[in-house]
Chains A and B, each alone.
Chain A
Amino acid sequence: MLKLIGRRLLYLLPVLLAVSVLTFLVAALLPGDMAEVLLGDQATPETLAALRHDMGLDQPLLVRYFIWLSHVLQGDFGRSFRTGQTVLSAVAERLPISLELMLGAQLIGLSIGIPVAIICAVRQGSWFDRTMTGGAFGMLSVPSFLSAILLIWLFAVQFQILPATGYTPFSEDPWGNLRGFVLPALTLALGEWPVITRVLRSDMIATLQEDFIAMARAKGLKQSRILLVHALKPSSLTLVTVTGINIGRLIGGAVIVETIFAMPGIGRLLVTAIYSRDLMMLQGVVLLVASGFVMLNFIVDLLYATLDPRIRHGRG
């Protein structure tokens, strides 16, 4: 097991390095640079060149990358040139909000997706199955900004039971904090559960054909035990993979959802950094988010071993 973890960790190094190169390139290739934004339209070429020289922007790309990378490796992600705040402290400040949002979305998505998938698999071909697989497909094609607006209209305008926008810190008002997260998390979850359902349903259908399920039936076990213990666990490998990959989709979704619901999370930080050409902030945030994503998928890989003992013992 430890060897497995060690080997997988080794694989992460080139991945993270590639992520840092891409991050840097994307930020560098954005049209317009910090100097232009800082000086505005009135700037003369001379002042621009002077500022660029001060900021090191006139150095070759490769040199700038290695300077940045060496700082990053020492834990220095730089500062926002706008606010002077360090990238790390800005991320630390906003990360809990985005994490709560994504965790909530994932929880709602799983708690809709898993039961629906199980019922669909057991009653394959029934009206419930057909409605839900059709509905899931439809739901996948609804963009999150549209479902966000519909949810706001329904729960905040019509029923007036949930706030439409805004964020309350958990320490101030835990209940208000949770209420504020319901609609954004639900918006993201609406794009999540169809994926979960579709993947788990087909795996469950395959598992239910297995001899060991016939065996479990012959043993006279309760239907709930057959489904949740004997069938769900061997069917969840793909589900776990998809859930891990979906975190990437969630990060992208969070950018939109945080903007619509006015939540000061990582997504908003990113959008602001892009608009203001705050390259240090942008590079830092993207690198940190991407590293987080890679790490999460590393944890997902480890989950396989927990789910399937054959992987744990280095077989199969």
Chain B
Amino acid sequence: MSMLEVENTIVDLPTPRGMLRAVDGVDLTLEAGKTLGVVGESGSGKTMLSRAILQLLPRRAKLSGAIRFDGQDMTRIPAETLRKLRAKSVAVVFQDPMTSLNPVLTIGTQLTETMREHLGVSQSEAISRGIALLAEVGIPSPEQRMGNYPHQLSGGMRQRVAIAIALSCAPKLLIADEPTTALDVTVQAQILDLLAREQRSRHMAMMLITHDLGVVAGRTDEVAVMYAGRVVERAPTRELFHHMRMPYTAALMAALPKLDAPPHTRLPAIGGRPPDPINPPPGCSFAPRCSYADAVCDKAKPPLSAPDRMAHQFACIRPLPVKVAA
């Protein structure tokens, strides 16, 4: 039994135009202490998937499938049981620390309240633990920072505070939803390194959600690439970067700027737009933008399968050839 098992999870969101299928039958597993990178462009459903795992979907959203944490289906437990499990089982770091921290409460309040609620520690104990946590995530003069409000800190510092809050109850799984997208480039690497360091030292599982393949390379054990609500390729990180099979993953990779490219090189952006999630095409949802697609691709959605290597799954009828090891 894996620590986290996401099974055939579907998330539908009602919109004025009709039901929008944000997550379309996702299966994922994550072992304790491991890291999974979830990569996809905007609207690929990666954030909705994380919200489903966190049980934080909008009230009108319809969720089906099972999301088991330590064998317990989080979608079927009573609200109060779920509330008590939160923070200690799954914690989250959101994209923008400007909006994920409450502007009218002090850092100290936001940091200690979770520990007070779940760990049953006294206020003074929570404060000293909070100061230690702030120091751990690299915040200078943490005692003073406890009395500060979020707006008095820089973006990078705020995200460090958000990480300290997420870590405060020693979660088994940390979901980091684009944790560096809203930050200055100079602090992005620092925050990612901090997350990786905490993940290792705490033997915590981590789900790193990003639109940037470069972020997951070297920082995750496994990568799942999402497109139009589905996982289209999933493999151990090393394997994925060496043998991309799904043309979408390869196109994402090609769209990354390269340092060694000559000046004024045009980035090979992926042409076209993602399919309309309210009226998805019957076949492979990437087919309309795919340069390898043929008529077969428009017939039916290819399932996520691992035809030749057990650990490397992809959903494609016309996969890229396996590169011969050089």
Contacts and interface: CB of A to CB of B under 8 A. Distances in A.
A229 B112 CA distance: 14
A159 to B, nearest CB: 41
Contact of A217 (B56, B88, B103, B152): B56
A313 B151 contact: yes
A212 B101 contact: yes
A60 interface: no
Contacts, number: 78
A3 interface: no
Contact of A215 (B51, B83, B100): B100
Contact of B99 (A212, A308, A316): A212
Contact of B117 (A219, A230, A234, A310): A219
A217 B101 CA distance: 12
B29 interface: no
Contacts of B100: 211-212, 214-215
A233 B96 CA distance: 21
29 contacts: A211-B94, A211-B96, A211-B99, A214-B56, A214-B94, A214-B100, A215-B102, A216-B102, A218-B54, A218-B92, A219-B86, A219-B87, A219-B113, A219-B117, A219-B165, A220-B84, A220-B88, A220-B118, A221-B83, A221-B113, A221-B117, A233-B104, A234-B104, A308-B104, A309-B149, A310-B103, A310-B149, A310-B151, A313-B152
Please provide the 9 A-B residue pairs with the shortest distance between their CB atoms, ordered closest to farther: A220-B86, A211-B99, A309-B149, A212-B102, A211-B100, A220-B87, A219-B114, A218-B92, A215-B100
Contacts of B86: 217-220
Contacts of B114: 219-221
A225 interface: yes
Given A214-B51, A220-B83, A309-B149, 19 more contacts: A211-B96, A211-B100, A212-B99, A212-B100, A214-B94, A216-B102, A218-B54, A218-B56, A219-B117, A220-B84, A220-B86, A220-B114, A220-B117, A221-B117, A230-B102, A233-B105, A313-B149, A313-B151, A315-B151
Contacts of A51: none
Interface size class of A (residues with CB under 8 A): 20 to 34
B235 interface: no
A172 interface: no
A139 interface: no
B121 to A, nearest CB: 15
A159 B126 CA distance: 54
A309 B151 contact: yes
A243 to B, nearest CB: 18
Contacts of A212: 99-103
A231 to B, nearest CB: 9
Interface in A175-197: none
Contacts of B92: 215, 218
Interface residues of B, number: 30
A233 B91 CA distance: 24
A172 B278 CA distance: 73
Contacts of B151: 309-310, 313, 315-316
A210 interface: yes
Interface in B94-137: 94, 96, 99-105, 113-114, 117-118
A309 B104 contact: yes
Listed residue (A220, A230, A309, A313) with the most chain B CB atoms within 10 angstroms of its CB: A220
Interface string B57-91: 00000000000000000000000000111111011
Nearest to B56: A214
Nearest to A123: B59
B120 to A, nearest CB: 13
Nearest to B165: A219
B85 to A, nearest CB: 7
Given A212-B99, A212-B100, A309-B151, A218 B105 contact: no
Contacts of B162: 215
Contacts of A151: none
Contacts of B165: 215, 219
A73 to B, nearest CB: 41
A307 interface: yes
B308 to A, nearest CB: 39
A311 to B, nearest CB: 10
Contacts of B105: 229-230, 233
B180 to A, nearest CB: 16
A210 B102 CA distance: 9
A227 to B, nearest CB: 13
A151 to B, nearest CB: 38
A222 interface: yes
